[in-house]
Amino acid sequence: MRYSIVTGGNRGIGKEISHQLLIEGYAVIAVYYNDDESALSTKKEFESGFPENFFVIECDLSNIENITLLFSKVNKITQSIDLLILNAGNTIRRGLEDITIGEWNSVMTVNLTTPVFLIQKFLPILNRGSNIIFTGSSMATYPHSVSLAYGISKSAVHALVKNLVKFLMPYEIRVNCVAPGFVDTDWHKDKPVNMKDSITKKISLKRFAKPEEIASAFLFLIHNQYINGEIIAIDGGYSYE
């Protein structure tokens, strides 16, 4: 059995990635935090079609000390990982004038720092030929007008992927990134209608992406064994007008 870990794997893009991996024959360990209802609902949904192949672990990845706890919990399920999807993310919608040091550090920790040290911790049980895939963002490329910390953190994630290629080469582990634009998930549910309309007008395809359209890019990176160190943008042609 091939085992995968998907951080933020209980909802939104992460949930769809988990679903597609189950279809592909992976056992999936979905890591979540502070949303028991969603995690249990997803577990119940997936267990009906994939009994004993879907696991959920609650872990607060905003606290880097919890990486060791997560490792011990995963180790009770498997001592061998073939795929690591670093999808969990955090944002605080504040600009330069308003953001505090604590808020800045919170976004940077979840989006950038924790993934680095999570890879470090799990490296001994990542199989040769395995994959690491990050969820980046189009906001790493286009200036983010709402959250300074989020845009900068995702820019750093894209740079991290490029740099990790050299460090992971001796382990024969590929590392890539999918950078979605705006996706129709709960992440955007609180956006005002006028803001969503304004965003849609900038997308050449005139709609937000479906989660399954983003998840399919992760599968593409898994299957194509010659892609390494790449950022795959899926933004529907954002700002083409």
The answer to whether the beta carbons of residues 137 and 180 sit under 8 Å apart is yes
pLDDT at 198: 80
Confidence of residue 25 (pLDDT cuts 50, 70, 90): very high
Mean pLDDT of 111-122: 98
pLDDT at 199: 81
Confidence of residue 196 (pLDDT cuts 50, 70, 90): confident
Phi, psi of 131 (to 5 degrees): -125, 145
Confidence of residue 187 (pLDDT cuts 50, 70, 90): low
DSSP letter at 16 equals: H
Could you please report the per-residue DSSP string of 103-131?
A: HHHHHHIIIIIHHHHHHHHHGGGEEEEEE
Rounded to two decimals, what is the model's pTM?
A: 0.94
Tokens 């024959």 belong to 25
Using alpha carbons, select from 146, 14, 25 the residue that is nearest to residue 92. 146
Please give the structure tokens belonging to residue 169: 């080469």
pLDDT at 189: 65
Mean pLDDT of 180-197: 76
Could you please report the per-residue DSSP string of 143-188?
A: PPSS-HHHHHHHHHHHHHHHHHHHHHGGGT-EEEEEEE--BSSGGG
The answer to whether the beta carbons of residues 211 and 16 sit under 8 Å apart is yes
Instruction: Give per-residue pLDDT as tens, 154-164.
Output: 999 999 999 99
Q: Is 25 helix (H, G, I), strand (E, B) or coil?
A: coil
The answer to whether the beta carbons of residues 205 and 237 sit under 8 Å apart is yes
Interatomic CA distance for residues 84 and 81, integer angstroms: 7
pLDDT at 176: 98
Interatomic CA distance for residues 142 and 144, integer angstroms: 6
What b/e readout covers 120-147, taking b as 16+ CB neighbours within 10 angstroms?
A: eebbeebeeebbbbbbbbbbbbeebeeb
Answer yes or no: is pLDDT of 143 > 80.
Answer: no
Interatomic CA distance for residues 10 and 211, integer angstroms: 13
108-112, 215-219, 237-241: segment of lowest average pLDDT: 237-241
Mean pLDDT of 18-32: 97
Using alpha carbons, select from 83, 84, 131 the residue that is nearest to residue 230. 131
Identify residue 39 by its one-letter amino acid code.
Answer: A
